[in-house]
Chains A and B, each alone.
Chain A
Amino acid sequence: MVIHFTCNGKPVTVDVDGDMRVLDVLRDVLDLTGTKEGCGEGECGACTIILNGKTVNSCLLYAGKLQGAVVETIEGLSGDSAGLHPIQESFLEEGAVQCGFCTPGMVLSTKALLDRHPDPSIKEIETALSGNFCRCTGYGKIMKAVVSSAEKLRDSREDGHQSGTGLGVKRG
């Protein structure tokens, strides 16, 4: 079937079977190999993408569901700029990346969270990342990276406006 959708801000058309996994559409048809396959059955979150503003597992998503949809993958995070997104910077600075296989999914779950809640509590961060498994880091550094990217993003939003408010992460 012919499927039209928006991928990382650009219109895309693919002609594939409606029951192809979106993971395979991204990796094999569009050559966007930043999205990873871990378990292939919805458990690990390595294949996380943002579909119409919400995180989903692309290994469980059928291509037909993309018709008219808006998709963000890890490749779209920095937009047209050559640099890294503040979330990606924080992951590097905090040492939250070891083998890196979980990282694209972790970063996208973080982005979807911070788009909704710029100042999340520790509990909200834990819930938002509960569908993303990491076999290397033990999660501590990932949590730190999320907290610091939230601060960075709030700072950049507050630039030029009133500053010095709402900083610091709520506990609980």
Chain B
Amino acid sequence: MEYVQPDTLEAAVSRLGRGGCTILSGGTDLAVVNRASGLKPECFVDICRISQFSGMELGEEGLHIGPCTTIAELAASAEIPHCLSQGASAIGSPQIRNAATVGGNICNASPCGDTLSPMVALSASFVLVSPRGSRAVDAETFFLGPKKTVLADDELLTDIIIGREFLKGTSAFKMLGKRKGQVISQVNAAVWLLLEDGVVAKVQAAFGSVAPVPLRARQTEAFLTGKELDAGTIHESLAYVKQDIRPISDIRASEAYRYRLAESIFHDVLKQAAGLACC
């Protein structure tokens, strides 16, 4: 097998263009999948030596997060919106968070990926590069289904951008699973909120694990916008949450249970983002 560690984006794209490659970031998803399938990859393109792929930087458009930034770095970061560091903290164990990367979490596109709903709530923009050129895709349109994205086989996620607008305001994330530590979300939600004198100037919310892809909660957002955010409004908004999501029944939880969970989690994240005492 071939294992290449390009140190520039150009070298990585040129090797990807020749075909037969699997992109390797932290490897925590790939190692499990490859072991289960017993398949041996023809070629790994390990992208983590490309220096601009690691770390975060504030630019004109907003905050750039390199795809090989580890989940542990995100979890510890005070620079990023709180919902994203909370999402990262919810992932796996210390060992997993030290190896796993944010780009891997996004590109793996598991419906229960814990950085996905924060990315969608924050309208993150993903820069994708292939031998055919570069394009930017919104987080919301990037995911097509469980483990399915708009990425072509030879296409790399090279940059994650959180727009300047979303670096203001407050945000929160919450997930619920069956136990503490090493859990897979049954439902998770992220909310980003901009309050002006107690009134919702703008709000964006997204749910994970309630549909094949992370979902924006547009009807709930529309209801909340322009309203004073008190306990009554928060309670009323829960009726819209039901209309925004389409949960499934699977081995982790039933559809009815997920509806209840989604309401309860949304209630908590909204209060948290608003700085109201929670529960």
Contact = CB atoms under 8 A, between A and B. Distances in A.
Contacts of B181: 130-131
A131 B182 CA distance: 7
B24 A131 contact: no
Contacts of A19: 1, 3, 34, 40-41, 44
A42 B44 contact: no
B32 interface: yes
A60 interface: yes
Interface of A: 1, 17-19, 21, 40-43, 45, 48, 51, 54-57, 59-65, 67, 109, 127-128, 130-132
A135 to B, nearest CB: 15
Contacts of B96: 42, 57, 60, 131
Nearest to B70: A54
Contacts of A21: 31
A64 B5 contact: yes
3 A-B pairs with the lowest CB-CB distances in the bound complex, closest first: A18-B3, A131-B93, A60-B31
Interface string B116-154: 000000000000000000000000000000000000000
B32 A45 contact: no
B55 interface: no
B95 A18 contact: no
B44 A57 contact: no
A153 to B, nearest CB: 19
Nearest to A56: B99
Interface in B50-90: 72
Contacts of B2: 18
B169 interface: no
B92 interface: yes
B27 interface: yes
B98 interface: yes
Interface of B: 1-3, 5, 24, 27-28, 31-32, 34-35, 40-41, 44, 46, 48, 72, 92-96, 98-99, 181-182
Contacts of B27: 60-62, 65
A23 to B, nearest CB: 10
Contacts of B41: 19
Contacts, number: 85
10 contacts: A19-B41, A42-B93, A42-B95, A43-B182, A57-B28, A60-B27, A62-B27, A64-B5, A127-B94, A131-B94
Contact of B44 (A62, A67, A128): A62
Contacts of B93: 42, 45, 130-132
Given A19-B44, A60-B32, A48 B95 contact: yes
A17 B99 contact: no
Contacts of B44: 18-19, 62, 64
B218 to A, nearest CB: 36
A55 B95 contact: yes
Contact of B99 (A1, A45, A60, A67): A60
Among A41, A51, A59, A64, which residue has the most Cβ atoms of chain B within 10 A? A64
Nearest to B99: A56
Nearest to A21: B31
Given A62-B24, A62-B31, A130-B182, A18 B94 contact: no
Among B32, B93, B98, B181, which residue has the most Cβ atoms of chain A within 10 A? B93
Nearest to B40: A19
Nearest to B24: A62
B33 to A, nearest CB: 10
A40 B1 contact: no
A37 B90 CA distance: 25
Given A42-B31, A130-B181, A1 B94 contact: no
B32 A17 contact: no
Contacts of B46: 18, 62, 64-65
